[in-house]
Amino acid sequence: MKEIRWHGRGGQGGFTASRLLGIAASVHGSKHALAFPSFGPERRGAPVLAFTKIDDTKIHDRSEVQNSDYVVVMDETLITPGFEKGIRPGATILVNTEKVEVYQKALPAFKLIGIDASTLAMELLGRPITNTAMYGALAAASGLVSLEAAVASIRTEMKPKLAELNVKIVERAFELINN
């Protein structure tokens, strides 16, 4: 089973990205998936966690992710002391940042990948909502779902006008990671 932990702030769409990944894996792929949020009082800007589990067989364990294979950080200010707890050694951490090298000394046991998802979202959406950029980056870095499945999940879940903008973001993020 592959376990993914999403770090974001309320309003950034972390749970939406978690769900999109689950839909891509299960509905548009040949896997089983669970996606669920974990947060306290809901308010814009508050730290939130979301989780996705993906496996080839039915998933019976509905507990919070304890040993992440992938971690997606939509707001780099969420990388604080103790952040690495619950991440497997050698796991991949994707960070929305212009300078991923800032984190490499503090997190040497992990593969770090940076993408400037905020700028990408502003260019294409006109708002700094980074969830689909980070989703596209994760799809490219992990191979958990294909680009086609990621795009199909967006078209399944979003209204057409919003879907097409987010498809462009996912495709661009996927391309940035694969180059």
| Contact predicate 76/95, CB 8 Å | yes
CATH number assigned to the domain comprising residue 160:
3.40.920.10
Distance, CA of 76 to CA of 83 (rounded, Å) = 11
What is the pLDDT, as a whole number, of residue 41? 59
Q: Phi and psi dihedrals of 131, rounded to 5? A: -60, -45
Report which residue type is found at 72: V
Residue span of the structural domain in which 78 resides: 2-178
Mean pLDDT of the chain: 94
145-164: average pLDDT? 97
Q: What is the pLDDT of residues 58-110, one digit of tens each?
A: 999 888 888 999 999 999 999 999 999 999 999 999 999 999 999 998 899 99
Q: What is the pLDDT of residues 20-51, one digit of tens each?
A: 999 999 999 999 999 998 866 567 778 899 99
CA angle 60, 48, 130 (to 5 degrees): 105
- Give me the percent of the chain exceeding a pLDDT of 70: 98
Q: What's the structural domain count of the chain?
A: 1
